[in-house]
Amino acid sequence: MKEQFTNWLSTHLKVSRRNINILLKDELATYFFMTWSIYESKCYNGFANINSLKKFISVIENKVSVGIIEEDAKYFHKRYQNQINYKHLIYDKKNDNIEFRIIISKEYSVLTLYEKLFLLSFVIYRYRNNIFHGNKGIESWLKYKEQIQKCITIMQLFLNITTYKNSNMEEYLKMHDELIDMIGVSITDSETCKKDIENLDNDFPQRYLTKLEYKELSEVEKDNIKNELILFRRRTYIKTIFSNIEGILYTTKQLILKNRDKITKDEELIKLQEKKYEGSSKDRLKEIIKRTGFLENMKLVFKYYKTFYSPDYSIDKFYTKLDQFKSVKDIRDKIVHPKDSLELNISIEELNKCKEFSEWFFSEFKKLLNFEE
């Protein structure tokens, strides 16, 4: 049984049988390996990488007291300010991480809670990889018993937090994946509508007229029909991108509102939930619907998603660019709520502006979600 298990574990971890035997004989290494397996499964949904580290930290950041990680964070911060230790930890340029380098270059006293959590999570992640795939061999890494013990303790701490808040964690990960799926569907929808516009000349006769009807039309009549179809497809494209974006914003708001108790500005909370309650007592409260404008909705969603889940996202650049797209709201409004028939006419300039906005939005939203294809 032992040999069969060793062979299986060697294949599964892509580690030599010799190293597996060394690992299994070392009690502390076995503790680390067992803890890591649970830790990766529970905290990183089964797959640890830099993006999933950041995602996990953003979820637990508001649930961690800085005091319980202070000693270990200070220890590893000091340890990896030493260049020799730093090189041993990274060992290969492809493993280098600019965020980790910035953190250890700072004075410990100015580090934020997020930075301390990232420091600890990154060190654990590197220890796991180095023990199995490092440049010094598994025996060399197992000599770092004090550091491995600290990594085990930190993983246990993070797992305890995750266990208490596991339903929230799973719900967050599920909704995060749903948002990524929605982005994919939305991009496909908008691309299909774009192709409909671009291919109108080719499919106009086949899709809308029989050959006999088409031949009987004058060139002026053909142009008039084609123009109506062009305008229709332009409107369809714009309605499609805006309905998809509004759906994404709505779903994201539900995730944000899981943290409603941390939203201190009542006015912004009302705008996020798009309703408020009025009345003199709990039994007589009346729900009042309060619609939030499209652009303001976007600003609030990006602001609070960054606050709760994506601290590295550059919100100032987002605000600046969004201000350049104020006109797209007017384009959308005039075809959704036209005051006369002329407002249903979409110019090529208006269409291109909406295309530019759509491509920018989906690109920014992926950045906000730390999503890399």
For every residue of 281-334, DSSP letters joined together read SGGG-EEEE----HHHHHHHHHHHHHHHH-TTS-HHHHHHHHHTTHHHHHHHHH
Q: Is the pLDDT of residue 203 over 70?
A: no
pLDDT (0 to 100) of residue 82: 93
* Mean of pLDDT values over 87-113: 88
Instruction: Please list, in sequence order, all residues whose beta carbon lies within 8 angstroms of the beta carbon of residue 104, skipping any fewer than 6 positions away.
Output: 77, 80, 81, 86, 119
Tell me phi and psi for residue 310, to 5 degrees.
Answer: -140, 65
Q: Is the pLDDT of residue 364 over 60?
A: yes
Tokens coding 346: 């979409």
* Mean of pLDDT values over 58-85: 87
Residue 189 binned pLDDT confidence (cut-offs 50, 70, 90): confident
DSSP helix/strand/coil, 276? strand
Of the listed ranges 88-92, 97-101, 317-321, the one predicted with least confidence = 88-92
Q: Are 8 and 14 in contact (CB under 8 A)?
A: no
Residue 119 binned pLDDT confidence (cut-offs 50, 70, 90): very high
Q: Is the pLDDT of residue 226 over 80?
A: no
Q: Degrees (nearest 5) of the Cα angle 169, 173, 179? A: 145
* Mean of pLDDT values over 81-107: 88
pLDDT (0 to 100) of residue 105: 93
Residue 130's Cβ-count burial label (10 Å; 0-12, 13-18, 19+) is buried
pLDDT (0 to 100) of residue 106: 93
pTM for this predicted structure: 0.54
pLDDT (0 to 100) of residue 137: 56
Instruction: Please list, in sequence order, all residues whose beta carbon lies within 8 angstroms of the beta carbon of residue 334, skipping any fewer than 6 positions away.
Output: 343, 344
Higher pLDDT, 146 or 312: 146
Q: Is the pLDDT of residue 232 over 70?
A: yes
Of the listed ranges 113-122, 132-141, 196-205, 218-227, the one predicted with least confidence = 132-141
Measured CA to CA, the distance from residue 341 to residue 33 in angstroms comes to 68
Task: Report the residue count for the chain.
Answer: 373
pLDDT (0 to 100) of residue 213: 66
* Mean of pLDDT values over 217-237: 81
Structure confidence by residue, pLDDT tens digits, 21-58 = 777 777 887 888 888 888 888 888 778 888 888 888 88
